[in-house]
Amino acid sequence: MATVSVFIIILTSCSAAVPVVLEPDHDAATAMFLAPLSSSLRSALNWLVANQSSSGSYGNYREHWDAAAAYALWLNNSDSVHASLSLSYLAAQLDNSSAWFWGAYGEADVPGAILHSIGSSSNTGLINKMAVADGLLQFQQSNGGFNGYYDLKQDQTVTSSIDTDEALLGLISADLIPVTNQTTATQYLLSLQNPDGSFNLTSTISFDPLYSQGPDTVSITSLTLLALKGTGFTVGQAPVANALKFVTSAAAIFSGNGHAYAAALATLAFKAYDQSDLATASAVYLLSQQNSDGGFSDSSRSSYPESNALDTGWAAIALETQSTEEGPPTPINSPPIAAFSFAPRSVSVGVAVHFNATASHDSDNDQLFYNWTFGDGSAAQGISTTHTYANTGNYTVTLIVTDSGTNPGPLSGIRSVTITVQPTIVQNSPSLRLGGSGLLLVAASLALVAIIGVAFYIGRRTARRPSLNLKT
């Protein structure tokens, strides 16, 4: 049976682009790829160890660099002394309310990246989880996005995809994000997607070449793909499919030198959505960008081509996912489907409405949790509930169903329906019994009629009585 080859043009040296042929049956090619990959990964990890300070840091105000390096070291060896050193340093910074990234000009992406590293390495016991979650959620704004990127034109910090991505990845990895916050953050990210599938940095800025975590559209889109994966998105959903298509077609960014950061994130995004051939092709380019000292650097950095911990850390993480045929565990939990009915269908003020979510289901048969909001500020929990509206108007009823699954964690399904509440209509009935006030009104009316009748009768009698002539 003939096989179909997939041709991907990608850079395999620092100066020339050549085609890499990837076939469905490519065990030999994989073996040839794994040998230099293993050597490259070892060199990158050695660079991280050699450049780590005694505190576990890689420089002041560079905790997001430390986070990438720490996770790369831990992923290679969970008992690594160097990984433990960096993770302990990061935990202390995260628990320090005076740390620079918690201040008025703080950035959600930094504590988010730290929490992602600590949560993904199963080290949340090192931090005060609730305090960290509360601090990070303070960055979330009314539009659902997380604040942190400084917009020079507006002269203030604004919400961005990078800050939201990192905050989501951190809070999800540590299982610390409420469902509502996750939902609104996801909606914000989707609002930044362009028709070509790419994601913007902010609502007005596509990317910033000087921004360490968002220097180009490929890296921004790839990181957003990883965040969406954490919230339960799959390759079959349009936002993901379009974003993957963009990253694939935008591989022209890999036709030149110095895009190590974008290649690392693209490799991870492809791997997360089971696009193995594309992940391999991206990793091949990444290998070509390694410096002679074993580290990596992206051309967006002012220090380029000098190696740094941010690019080296992400590159090592990407290479580690490619170091075995199995790769990292594939998330198996599927999101539940939310559905509900209500009665009566015609809703009036003061009339109890019964809501039932038994139609909701989960393909994994996980235990489900039900959260209702009724659009008037009221909320409830449970598979069924009753609510009464006090005022007329249109109200959006939202049901959020969350499962108990793991790997990657609890996932949610959402269903919203807008209902119209009409004024209560009072109908009179011949058999309607009168209340106390009604009886008083009837009695008073009858009494008035009786008085008028008596007066009329007396008046008639008086008029008909004969007059008496008294003579003397």
Can you give the pLDDT at residue 9?
A: 34
72-81, 230-239, 361-370, 457-466: segment of lowest average pLDDT:
457-466
316 & 392 share domain: no
Task: Return the bridge partners of 7, or none.
Answer: 21
Query: Is residue 328 situated within a structural domain?
Result: no
Query: Is residue 271 situated within a structural domain?
Result: yes
201 & 347 share domain: no
176 & 284 share domain: yes
280 & 414 share domain: no
Give rounded-to-5 percent helix, strand, coil for the chain. Answer: 45, 15, 40
> What value does the mean pLDDT take over residues 377-397?
95
Can you give the pLDDT at residue 432?
A: 45
Can you give the pLDDT at residue 177?
A: 94
Tell me: cis bond preceding 466? Omega within 30 of 0 counts: no
Query: Is residue 437 situated within a structural domain?
Result: no
CATH of the domain at 51: 1.50.10.20
459 versus 180: the higher-pLDDT residue is 180
254 & 390 share domain: no
Q: How many residues does the chain have?
A: 472
Which residue is it, tokens 């160097």? 82
> What value does the mean pLDDT take over residues 317-331?
67
Residue pLDDT, tens place only, 417-427 = 999 999 987 65
286 & 417 share domain: no
- Please give the model's pTM, rounded to 2 decimal places: 0.66
Among 381, 401, 422, the domain-final residue is: 422
Query: Is residue 4 situated within a structural domain?
Result: no
Residue 412's pLDDT band, with cuts at 50, 70 and 90, is: confident
Query: Is residue 441 situated within a structural domain?
Result: no
Number of Cβ within 10 Å of residue 156's Cβ equals 11
% residues pLDDT > 70 (the chain): 79
Tell me: cis bond preceding 209? Omega within 30 of 0 counts: no
100 & 138 share domain: yes
The number of distinct structural domains making up the chain is 2
> What value does the mean pLDDT take over residues 416-441?
67
Can you give the pLDDT at residue 253?
A: 61
Q: Rounded to the nearest 10 degrees, what angle do helices 27-50 and 309-321 cross at?
A: 150
Can you give the pLDDT at residue 442?
A: 53
Query: Is residue 467 situated within a structural domain?
Result: no
Helix (H, G, I), strand (E, B) or coil at 346: coil
CATH of the domain at 383: 2.60.40.10
Residue pLDDT, tens place only, 235-284 = 999 999 999 999 998 755 666 688 999 999 999 999 999 998 889 888 98
Residue 4's pLDDT band, with cuts at 50, 70 and 90, is: very low
Residue pLDDT, tens place only, 135-165 = 999 999 999 999 999 999 999 999 999 999 9
Can you give the pLDDT at residue 456?
A: 60
CB contact at 8 A, 52 and 337: no
300 versus 434: the higher-pLDDT residue is 300
Query: Is residue 17 situated within a structural domain?
Result: no
179 versus 1: the higher-pLDDT residue is 179
Residue 331: pLDDT over 60 = no
Say how far apart CA 148 and CA 161 lie, in whole Å: 10
394 & 354 share domain: yes
Query: Is residue 9 situated within a structural domain?
Result: no
Can you give the pLDDT at residue 439?
A: 54
106 & 194 share domain: yes
Can you give the pLDDT at residue 323?
A: 77
204 & 303 share domain: yes
Can you give the pLDDT at residue 37?
A: 83
309 & 414 share domain: no
278 & 365 share domain: no
Domain interval for residue 362: 341-422
